[in-house]
Amino acid sequence: MTDRPSVSVLFEPAARPTVDFAGATAVVIDAIRATTTIVAALAAGCRACLPYRTAEEVRSEAARRPPGSVVTAGERKGVRIEGLDLNNSPSVMTPQRVGGRSLLLTTTNGTQAIHDALGAETILLAALPNRRAIARRAAALGRRLILASAGTVGTVSCEDTLVAGAIIEALAEEPRGAAWHLEDSAIVALAAWRGAKDRLAEIFHQTWGGSFIARLGLEADLEVCTQVDTMEVVPLVRGEPPVITAG
């Protein structure tokens, strides 16, 4: 046992309801693609992202907003939902498309994971492009840290585990990095990251989610998902229903 704040990783969706998020910093990860998409959108000047469980909720909220003030996006099984403006694609989150507007988003895995973490003291969203920025913010907060994988259709996600390990590595490099105790799940994720980080593109293409996205012709998305430390934005989730802004 230790008095130091702990770092743990939730590898699959079924673990989230069993965990007490109260008082913790939760970092939600859906590397392919929801959290990467949200990071890219905020980096491109999106005002806010609102995550929804269903496409019906997205359409209803869009109908209440002034024309031109929002962009709708979402997918089921990787394919853009009919009637929404965009797929859940980080590669299309450009200033021209989302700058100055709000993004209303629904996805197969990631948006549900965000809702599941709403009991945490602070909720951040992470992907490889912003992993060091997330580690820096988590270190500044100094609380128990829970890295929550969105998973892939209810199962463990290799890519989410690797992002968790990447964040843990960056956390250890912060000035207060030694202040955290790594639980076994965190040790597993860190070891996985260290074994994979020199061949990320290859491994992301081998994962269930990555190979599926590649078969859909969305290679440009995978390219964004495997970029490391290219964005400084820290998506912060506030309120219920949740609103995500660059915090």
- Domain with residue 154: its CATH number is 3.90.1560.10
Longest dimension (CA), the chain: 56
Q: What pLDDT score does 1 carry?
A: 55
**Residue 134 maps to a domain:** yes
Beta bridge partners of 52: 106
What the block records as the tokens of 47 is: 């005002």
Nearest to 107 by CA among 25, 221, 19: 221
**Residue 215 maps to a domain:** yes
What the block records as the tokens of 163 is: 């992002």
What the block records as the tokens of 7 is: 């770092």
For the chain, 247 residues long, give each residue's pLDDT as a single digit of tens. Answer: 568 999 999 999 999 999 999 999 999 999 999 999 999 999 999 999 999 999 999 999 999 999 999 999 999 989 999 999 999 999 999 999 999 999 999 999 999 999 999 999 999 999 999 999 999 999 999 999 999 999 998 999 999 999 999 999 999 999 987 889 999 999 999 999 999 999 999 999 999 999 999 999 999 999 999 999 999 999 999 999 999 999 8
Look up the pTM and report it.
Answer: 0.97
Q: What pLDDT score does 178 carry?
A: 82
d(CA 65, CA 173): 43
d(CA 36, CA 209): 14
**Residue 83 maps to a domain:** yes
**Residue 59 maps to a domain:** yes
Q: What pLDDT score does 54 carry?
A: 97
Q: What pLDDT score does 164 carry?
A: 98
Tally the domains of the chain. Answer: 1
d(CA 216, CA 231): 26
Q: What pLDDT score does 91 carry?
A: 98
Query: Which residue is it, tokens 């990467």?
Result: 36
Q: What pLDDT score does 2 carry?
A: 65
d(CA 107, CA 138): 25
**Residue 1 maps to a domain:** no
In terms of residue numbers, what domain contains 31? 6-246
What the block records as the tokens of 88 is: 């859940």
Q: What pLDDT score does 148 carry?
A: 98
What the block records as the tokens of 196 is: 């994979």
d(CA 204, CA 208): 9
What the block records as the tokens of 24 is: 């913790």
What the block records as the tokens of 206 is: 């081998």
Report the 10 Å Cβ neighbour count for 31.
31
Q: What pLDDT score does 176 carry?
A: 83
**Residue 144 maps to a domain:** yes
Our CA dihedral for 27, 213, 111, 11, rounded to 10 degrees, sits at -40
